[in-house]
Amino acid sequence: MAHVLIIGAGGVGRVVVHKCAQNSDIFDKITLASRTLSKCERYRDEVKERYDVDIDIAAVDADSVEDLVRLIEKVKPDMVLNIALPYQDLTIMEACLQTGVHYLDTANYEHPDTAKFEYKEQWAYNDRYREKGIMALLGSGFDPGVTNVFCAYAQKHYFDEIHTIDILDCNAGDHGYPFATNFNPEINLREVSAKGRYWQKDEKGEGKWIETEPMAIKMVWDYPQIGPKDSYLLYHEEMESLVKHIKGLKRIRFFMTFGESYLTHMQCLENVGMLGIEPVEHEGCKIVPIQFLKTLLPDPATLGPRTKGKTNIGIVAEGIKDGKKRKIYIYNVCDHEETYKETLSQAVSYTTGVPAMIGAKLMMESKWMRPGVYNMEQFDPDPFMEELNRQGLPWHVEEL
Ligand code: NDP
């Protein structure tokens, strides 16, 4: 039995609250806290109506360590699930350290003023978490998250050595708007408008990051249950930990699908400066263009009832087993309308929120529990893979 404090009542937070309430045999007490209390109230009422589960709510400013420590000391949870934004990772990790409470998140720390993410600052907590006897699980969403677990599962059951990995992320959902993002627009647009990057070993066997212009590398991949889609190479955070933990790796890349309309809108917004993260002066007040754009765009949490179609996210791994070459594809297909029926959320929030709940469940059941700071592939993938099948994200393995 566990008491969890969920921070962030956004699109993903909603799914986490629903899934924790569905698993109330493990999560016997749930507290949801966010900046805006009215969002917490809404989700509290939903959960009561659907599952007859009572949850507590609170307002918190997760940018303030003091505020967080005060809340954690009052609520006394066994762990904190950080489902706010990547900007809050370090303050929440710090508050967990000060109060001796386990931590989990779904996205890598990002500084609001630099559109760049890396694990360095979160990994730097490892010794202090270990000394305090608490654990942090980093990136327990889908990608990062399930994709890391797929890689660990491939390594454990299918290969002696994995040489190449392609992570393939397709969202073929249609929400009917000319332009909208499926999760926080600011985080999403910062990610996809950044330069691409992949990792490869050179002839001397040294691993190097190779940078590309945004969207410069494109391939067409035939996604099962969806069909062929243009897929573009991006940098994505799970590659940073996977290059450390997957044996024999020679190359890893990440591809995401984008439709022509999305790319044209994004290019246009970028050309006129709407993706800028530096404040600009407008009639006497300072505004950050990308934050203003977020205000204009549809709230991802409202896309659920209008989104139709499927997502397919997976990995293709190539390597050697018993001296022979092998190539496998592990993926999950998720249907936007089905996830809406279950949790009032579209599939991008669902595919992130379900793994966050599973990560917390495995920690609270002591199946994944070790003091220190960890990425997903550092644990036994089997219990996580079993939970995916049970909790609404069944997966397939194909030999290619
Ligand atoms: P939303 O913008 O919908 O929700 C974020 C929530 O965090 C909002 O409710 C917001 O509160 C709250 N919040 C923001 N700042 C603060 C603060 N200072 N104090 C307290 N609460 C705060 O985002 P999503 O739900 O779409 O995304 C949530 C997280 O999931 C993000 O970190 C995102 O990067 C990650 N993600 C991970 C994926 C994966 O596969 N690993 C995929 C998709 C998302 P308020 O509404 O009051 O402003």
pLDDT digits (tens, 9 = 90+) for 140-160: 999 999 999 999 999 999 999
End-to-end, the C-alpha distance of the chain in Å comes to 42
Q: How far apart are CA 177 and CA 174, in angstroms?
A: 8
Q: What is the distance of C-alpha 327 from the center of its chain?
A: 26
Tokens standing for 195?
Answer: 């330069």
Q: How far apart are CA 53 and CA 50, in angstroms?
A: 8
Residue nearest to atom 3 of ligand 1 (CA): 10
Tokens standing for 161?
Answer: 């050595």
Q: Are the C-beta atoms of residues 400 and 158 closer than 8 Å to each other?
A: no
Q: How far apart are CA 312 and CA 21, in angstroms?
A: 26
Q: How far apart are CA 352 and CA 397, in angstroms?
A: 20
Q: How far apart are CA 185 and CA 84, in angstroms?
A: 13
The β-bridge relationship of strands 2-7 and 79-82 is parallel
Whole-number pLDDT of residue 193: 86
Give 188's pLDDT tier (boundaries 50, 70, 90). Answer: confident
Q: What is the average per-residue pLDDT within 15-39?
A: 97
Distance 392 CA to ligand 1 centre (A): 22
Q: Is the pLDDT of residue 288 over 90?
A: yes
CA angle 12-13-19, nearest 5°?
90
Whole-number pLDDT of residue 184: 84
Cβ of 10 less than 6 Å from ligand 1: yes
How many CA atoms within 13 Å lie on the side-chain side of 225?
A: 17
Whole-number pLDDT of residue 138: 98
Distance 280 CA to ligand 1 centre (A): 24
Give 302's pLDDT tier (boundaries 50, 70, 90). Answer: confident
Tokens standing for 9?
Answer: 């009542």
Residue-wise pLDDT tens digits, 33-82: 999 999 999 999 999 999 999 999 999 999 999 999 999 999 999 999 99
Cβ of 105 less than 6 Å from ligand 1: no
Q: Is the pLDDT of residue 116 over 80?
A: no
Whole-number pLDDT of residue 241: 97
Q: What size, in residues, is the chain? A: 400
Whole-number pLDDT of residue 183: 82
- Before 305, cis peptide (omega within 30)? no
Which range, of 35-49, 174-188, 232-246, averages the lowest pLDDT?
174-188
Tokens standing for 58?
Answer: 């609170």
pTM for the structure as a whole: 0.95
Tokens standing for 346?
Answer: 């579209």
Contacts of 336 (CB under 8 A, 6+ apart): 173, 304, 307, 308, 309, 310, 311, 346, 347
Q: Is the pLDDT of residue 88 over 80?
A: yes
State which ligand 1 atom lies nearest to the alpha carbon of 146: 40
Cβ of 183 less than 6 Å from ligand 1: yes
Q: How far apart are CA 35 and CA 184, in angstroms?
A: 15
Whole-number pLDDT of residue 376: 98
Q: Is 65 exposed, middle or buried (0-12, 13-18, 19+ CB in 10 A)?
A: middle
Whole-number pLDDT of residue 168: 98
Give 300's pLDDT tier (boundaries 50, 70, 90). Answer: confident
State which ligand 1 atom lies nearest to the alpha carbon of 301: 3
Q: Tokens 């050595």 label which residue?
A: 161
State which ligand 1 atom lies nearest to the alpha carbon of 13: 25
Tokens standing for 267?
Answer: 């290019």
Distance 91 CA to ligand 1 centre (A): 14
Contacts of 208 (CB under 8 A, 6+ apart): 199, 200, 201, 202
